[in-house]
Structure 1
Amino acid sequence: MEIEILGPLNVRIADRSIVPRAGKPRQLLALLALRSGHIVPIPTLMEELWGEHIPRSAQTTLQTYVLQLRRLIKTALPADSPCTPKDVLITRFGSYQLNSEPGLCDATLFQQKATAGTRAFEQGAAAEASALLGDALSLWRGPALADVPAGRILEIEMLAMDEARTRAQELRLEADLQLGRHGEILGELMILAAHHPLNENICVLLMTALHRSGHTWRALEAYQQQRATLARELGVAPSSRLQRLRQEILGAGRSEERRAA
């Protein structure tokens, strides 16, 4: 079984998709796939599908969705497979579990590569960190579970995955800055800063890349925009780190002006 979560949902057996078209069964498969290899209690599945308004028929309806998934699994299983649909989508006491081999989920691979990249970064191996984190980020095909209706539980999971993706991007970009690739990553940083206007670390990276690329005034403009956004949205001033960077860029600019004179 191959599971792809980092983008539209894609779950395949023997290269055949078992993703249902209807929203609720797709939502059910998404949560089971996200936690593949682990049991998912029926109350958790019900909360995801219906939130606080669980109907009286929820138990029967959930069993119907499971039956639909097993029919899709049966269609996808090779004729000579020793497994049955109930071996793939297992019924446990008060729970269900999607049985899959470890390492065949893109979210798991992302986490493994991102962890290795983070470790390399912390050890000062910028080139290795950039490569590992770049490999991890290449697994993303769009927003996580982009085509799945999300309830409360999936929304939390998707938020956590998005934050992990952003953190991996930050670290990879910081590693690239250490390698002197400020010109190469400038466009990516500008897009990332636009998507995360309250993230001061991204602003620091953007200001640094702009300044090193010879765009001092744009670096200072990025600071002013960040300061205005923080004041408007949170009522706070920029961090001391951001303020120190501004002063360093201003000082460097004055030094350049004196040398030019």
Structure 2
Amino acid sequence: MEIDVLGTLAVRLNGVSITPTAPKPRQVIALLALRAGQVVPVAVLAEELWGSRPPRSARATLQTYILQLRELISTALENGTGDETGQHRQAKDVLLTVPGGYLLKAGDGTSNVREFERLAGSGYRAMDAEDYPQAARLLRQALGLWTGPALADVQTGPQLQTEVKRLEESRLCALDQRVEADLRLGRHRELLAELTVLVNRYPTHESLCGQYMLALYRSGRRGEALDAYQRLRATLVRAMGLEPSSALAKLQRSILMSGPETLPARPATGAAVAPVG
């Protein structure tokens, strides 16, 4: 089974799509696919589909959606290629009914979430080992798996919204570390266009702002670096009643007082504030 969620949703079995077109069955397969190999309780699926007040018919309707998914799975087992054992399997062996819920068996298939996590983890270890070329390469590969926002074409309820937020935070963490690796390699000028977009997209993200300030300063644009700090500070105060972290304030003072040779090598390392909106 192939599971892609880092962008539009695509779930394929033996090369055949088992992704339904109707909104609610898409929610069901998305949640089952994200938690492939784990039991997803009926109550969790009901909350995803209908929130905290599911209708009386929720269980029966969910069973209908499961039957629709099994029909797609049956078609894939009958008509797909690449699985010599497919003819001996049934849909109920792929999408199981278990006590209290349902379980999707992905087998030894691929998942772009798992591949992203594998590459990002290797990139973080390379950062820890100060192998910045390797870290930049691995983290760039990990981020390249994203073709858009996670589950971009899926209607999301409470459960999937939590999953999407988790994935977005993981992506931002990998992006932060990839930018850091590139800064360590002296690529500050090449980063400016990307960081300009990022600080506008995430106007309260302190780490990205610190990296932007450092890239600007090292590119001979001291005034713009200081302006970036003031914009972040004004946004934080207005939106959250917060001042920038001490690490970012220290970077600002370094830019005010120091030459580039004495600036800290790493930008602000304080925890990133969640983006506005």
Q: Fold-level match, TM-score > 0.5?
A: yes
- In the alignment, which residue of structure 1 is the partner of 2:264? none
Identity between Structure 1 and Structure 2 (%): 49
- 1:167-206, aligned counterparts within 5 Å? 167-206=173-212
SS at match of 2:12: strand
Q: Which runs of 4+ in 1 moved over 6 A?
A: none
Q: What TM-score comes out, normalization by structure 2 length?
A: 0.88
Deviation at 1:253, TM superposition (A): 6.4
Aligned-residue CA RMSD in angstroms? 1.6
Q: Distance in 1 between matches of 2:3 and 2:87?
A: 19
Q: Is the 8 A contact 1:42 1:95 kept in 2?
A: yes
The 1:87/1:236 distance shift into structure 2, 3 A limit, reads same
CA distance in 2, matches of 1:245, 1:182: 16
Find the aligned partners of 2:250 and 2:33 in 1 and give their Cα distance. 46
| Matches of 1:248 and 1:52, distance apart in 2 | 51
Partner of 1:120: 126
Distance 2:109 2:88 in 1: 21
Code of the aligned partner of 1:59: R
Matched, 1:29 2:29: yes
Change (3 A) 1:103 1:183: farther
Task: For structure 2, list consecutive stretches of 5 or more residues without a partner in the other structure.
Answer: 80-85, 262-277
SS of alignment partner, residue 59 of structure 1: helix
CA distance change for structure 1 residues 220 and 242 in 2, over 3 Å: closer, same or farther? same
Which residue, 97, 101, 104 being the options, matches 2:110? 104
Q: Paired residue for 1:209? A: 215
Looking at structure 1, the residues matched to 50 and 128 of structure 2 have their Cα atoms a distance apart, in angstroms, of 43
In 2, Cα distance between equivalents of 1:70 and 1:103: 18
The gaps in structure 1 that reach 5 residues or longer are 256-261
Equivalent runs, 1:33-72 vs 2, <5 Å: 33-72=33-72
One-letter amino acid matched to 1:223: Y
Q: Residue 6 and residue 208 in structure 1: after superposition, are their counterparts in 2 closer, same or farther (change >3 A)?
A: same
Q: CA deviation at 1:103?
A: 5.6
Q: Secondary structure at the match of 1:90?
A: strand
Q: Which amino acid aligns with 1:69?
A: L
Aligned-partner residue type, residue 16 of structure 1: V
1:81 to partner: Cα distance: 2.5
Cα drift, residue 247 of structure 1: 1.8
1:133-152 equivalence runs, <5 A: 133-152=139-158
1:218 partnered with 2:218:
no
TM-score with structure 1 length normalisation?
0.94
Residue 78 of structure 1, CA deviation: 3.8
Give distance in 2, aligned partners of 1:29 and 1:254: 52
The residue number in structure 2 matching 1:164 is: 170
Q: Is the 8 A contact 1:103 1:109 kept in 2?
A: no
Count of aligned pairs: 255
